[in-house]
Amino acid sequence: MKKYLLSLFIYGIAAIGFTACMDDHDEVNTYDLDVFSTNVGTVNTTIADVKARFCASKAGADFTRGSSNWSTKVTEDLVFDGIVVANDVSGNLYQNVMLRTPQGEGEDQCIILRVKNTCLYPYFPLGQRVRVNLKDLYVGVYSLTPEIGQPYYSSYGNLNLGPMLFSLLKTNVQLVGKPNANAPELIAKVLDDAWLKASGNRTYKNSPLLASVTGTIDEMSEANRGTALQNLEVDKEDDVYGKYEPLVNVGGRFFKYFAPDVLHDDGFGVDRTIVTNGGQKVTLRTSVENEIAYQLLPDDSRTYTGMLTYYGNDWQVQLRDLNDIYPKLNN
């Protein structure tokens, strides 16, 4: 969603300040930090049940805005477990942690836990089991994507479902055990053309989703690179948000960046288009001001893994970090 892609300049400064006080070989032991609850209660529901109750329909919601934004305050102790399968380690998923149902403990579903903090990944490493008590938090959808958080007024005066206060981790969130980097929940769902094409898959049950899509970047096709180069040479504007498209000469061939700041839209992100072998299109959404933004776009077929959602009628994927590209970048 475009709302997730706020400018991360402040994030970068904060992250540098956070890591500067640690040795490169030190690991943050979040269990020693007075951040989380030690007991949020006994598990009595699942992510699937929570989404079915609060995200399937706006009927009965505490507040709604249009047909794709609503949320409800939870007034009872609803407790579920989830495994962290996405975080903000690169800065691309700002204030977002995606939780997935522990394998064998219910229907395989994901939901986003939004937390107001500029650096979440030390607290929510991949493979960490997290127990959440939803009481006094809000659950609903923003742009039809199920999430947990608190309402806030945007700069446009809209009441939206946004991140919960960091301090509420102490009352509503508990870490269970140690993170498992090899957790089976970290295996992404591989999406083929038939799945992407089926409009029936665009439901709250499939958003968000840890998924992989394979294809080429349309903006790096010979035709699109040629158009950008011609426009640049004659001082014309390219067709990306009506702004100039920066090009990089590498051995006589011209490449583009993932998300140069000059191209950012209102959500401080840049959209590229993954085209699969079967011609299906998936938006590759990247925020500016992070470690992915100024990497060169590949001009060959790659597999892109990340948080899949749908925006309007389009699927879009947001990478967690550079390891979500295979084969890996070498620029």
| Global pTM value | 0.87
DSSP-derived secondary structure letter, 303 = E
Q: What average pLDDT does range 265-283 have in this prediction?
A: 94
As a residue count, the chain comes to 331
> Is 70 exceeded by the pLDDT of residue 2?
no
End of a domain among 166, 182, 198? 182
pLDDT (tens digit per residue) in 287-298: 998 999 999 999
Same domain, 138 and 230: no
User: How far is it, in rounded angstroms, from Cα 242 to Cα 169?
Assistant: 42
pLDDT tens-digit readout, 163-190: 999 999 999 999 999 999 999 999 999 9
- The answer to whether residue 2 is domain-embedded is no
156 burial type by CB count under 10 A (0-12 exposed, 13-18 middle, 19+ buried): exposed
Shared domain for 168 and 202, answered yes or no, is: no
Same domain, yes or no, for 112 and 231?
no
Q: How far apart are CA 273 and CA 292, in angstroms?
A: 16
What is the distance between the alpha carbons of residues 179 and 171, in angstroms, rounded to a whole number? 21
What percentage of residues in the chain have a pLDDT greater than 90? 72
Q: Domains in the chain: how many in total?
A: 2
Q: What percent of the chain has pLDDT over 70?
A: 84
Decide: helix, strand or coil at residue 53: helix
**CA-CA distance, 110 to 55, in Å (whole number)?**
12
Q: Which long-range contacts (CB under 8 A, 24 or more apart) does 165-171 make?
A: 165/116, 166/115, 166/116, 166/117, 168/136, 168/137, 169/35, 169/36, 169/37, 169/115, 169/123, 170/34, 170/35, 170/36, 170/37, 171/37, 171/40, 171/133, 171/136
For the segment 6-11, the average pLDDT, to the nearest whole number, is 38
Nearest Cα neighbor of 286 from 274, 302, 276, 277 is 274
- Do the domain assignments include residue 201? yes
148 in the same domain as 220? no
Higher pLDDT, 262 or 318: 318
Residue 29 has a pLDDT of 47
Biggest CA–CA distance in the chain, Å, is 66
Question: Based on the domain organization, do 231 and 177 belong to the same domain?
Answer: no
Q: Would the CA dihedral through 231, 232, 235, 237 be positive or negative?
A: positive
Reported for 242-249, long-range contacts at CB under 8 A and 24+ positions apart, including other chains, are 248/296
> Based on the domain organization, do 322 and 194 belong to the same domain?
yes
My answer on whether 54 and 162 are in the same domain is: yes
163, 247: one domain:
no
Q: Which domain holds residue 54?
A: 28-182
**Three-state secondary structure of 177-224:** CCCCCCCHHHCCEECCHHHHHCHHHCCHHHCCEEEEEEEEEHHHCHHH
pLDDT single digits (tens) 91-107: 999 999 999 999 999 99
- The CATH number of the domain holding residue 246 is 2.40.50
Q: Which of 158, 182, 206 is the last residue of a domain?
A: 182
Q: Are 140 and 242 in a shared domain?
A: no
Question: Which candidate, 83, 257, 304, places its Cα nearest to that of 182?
Answer: 83
Domain endpoint, select from 157, 182, 207: 182
Phi, psi of 177 (to 5 degrees): 70, -165
pLDDT tens readout for residues 28-57: 444 546 899 999 999 999 999 999 999 999
Are both 139 and 208 inside the same structural domain?
Answer: no
Phi, psi of 275 (to 5 degrees): -110, 120
Mean pLDDT of 58-71: 94
Residue 3 lies in a domain: no
- Predicted confidence at residue 158, as pLDDT, reads 84
Same domain assignment for residues 195 and 258: yes
CA angle, 142 then 143 then 148, to 5°:
20
Q: What is the pLDDT of residue 313?
A: 82
What gap in Å lies between CA 176 and CA 155, rounded to an integer?
Answer: 37
Neighbours of 331 (CB within 10 A): 10
**Domain identity same for 205 and 158:** no
- Looking at residue 126, what is its pLDDT? 98
